Homo-oligomer: A and B are copies of this chain.
Amino acid sequence: MILGIDIGGTTSKLGLVRDGQVIARARIGTTGHADDHAFADALAHEARQLAGAHGTRISAIGIGAPNANQLTGIIEMAPNLPWKHDVPLARMMADRLGAPAVLGNDANAAALGEWRYGAGQGINDLLVVTLGTGVGSGFIVNGQLVLGSAGNAGELGHTILIPEGRDCTCGRQGCLEAYVSIRGMIATYQECGGAPGAMDVKTIADRGHQGEQAAIDCFRLTTDRLAIGLVNAVCATGPKRIVLFGGIARNGDLLMAPLRDRFHAMLLNIYKGRVDLSVSALPDDDAALLGAAALGTLE
């Protein structure tokens, strides 16, 4: 039985996972604790309750969190979490629960989740791209998650797509994330002359379905830009499959269908017919927990 923990900015979720199924869930606030030790105590308390109620023992712990470094087991000064110092959460939870713990960043958790339980099962050369507030990614090469020498590989969202392009939150310009994230799509929609009030991608999609030109143009531009980002990523590690994760990828007609066409058309010749594009096969509500649990399977 694996304990998955997904640390979010406001809420943290816990789940007991067996054979790729979440069989019990709990949640606590991430904020409002005296310090990081009190937060870890609260997590451990909930975990013991869950395991006790199901008459089971936790054999491994996987924790997904922003700014997590898998090599060190530390959450490194995460801007969106309450603690402005390094938090060695892997060790803190392992000590409290007496089971080995692996901490990893959200995008790597998503990648492992898709690989173990989702749309990437059995695919040992895999790329998972998360499309949300930001754009994250996890590369799996030869059956191994790529961590990089400092534990920070897989920042596809910050590859520069358009030199001297749109400002990115990273302080540079023209990153993929500045165009194909939620924020990026809203900016594109405004540039296309979209009607005010669209503060989320669902609204833009709804307007696209109603035939609004700005919304249609926004999705077309997003598709073109994402296609370039993905064909470029293929040139690095030569994956057999790319899985897209997150609400944006749930837009089948406006995004995924034209994206597949564009992606396959733009692929370098030697990759044609050798890589496909899929959407996450994990249930939205449990995806983060399953990803976290998949980190636990690495121990």
Contacts and interface: CB of A to CB of B under 8 A. Distances in A.
A236 B139 contact: yes
Nearest to A270: B152
Contacts of A236: 139, 146, 153-154, 156, 159, 233, 236-237
| 10 nearest A-B pairs in the assembled complex, by CB-CB distance | A148-B238, A153-B238, A149-B240, A125-B149, A236-B236, A159-B232, A155-B235, A150-B274, A158-B268, A159-B235
Contacts of A213: none
Interface in A231-248: 231-233, 235-240
A32 interface: no
Contacts of A266: 160, 172
Contacts of A156: 235-236
B238 A149 contact: yes
Interface of A: 123-125, 139, 141-142, 144, 146-156, 158-163, 170-172, 224, 228, 231-233, 235-240, 266, 268-271, 274-275
Given A139-B237, A142-B147, A170-B269, 20 more contacts: A124-B149, A139-B236, A141-B144, A142-B146, A148-B239, A149-B238, A149-B240, A149-B274, A150-B271, A151-B238, A152-B238, A152-B270, A155-B235, A155-B270, A156-B236, A159-B232, A163-B228, A172-B268, A232-B232, A233-B236
Given A160-B228, A228-B163, A238 B269 contact: no
Contacts of A271: 150, 152
Given A266-B172, A268-B155, A147 B228 contact: no
Contacts of A172: 266, 268
A97 to B, nearest CB: 28
24 contacts: A139-B236, A141-B148, A142-B144, A146-B236, A147-B238, A149-B240, A150-B238, A150-B270, A151-B238, A152-B238, A153-B236, A153-B238, A154-B238, A155-B268, A158-B235, A159-B235, A159-B236, A160-B232, A163-B224, A172-B266, A232-B232, A233-B236, A236-B236, A236-B237
A84 to B, nearest CB: 17
Nearest to A268: B158
Nearest to A126: B149
Given A141-B141, A228-B160, A237 B237 contact: yes
A149 B231 CA distance: 15
Contacts of A160: 228, 231-232, 266
A172 B228 CA distance: 12
Interface centre among A124, A144, A238 (most CB of B within 10 A): A238
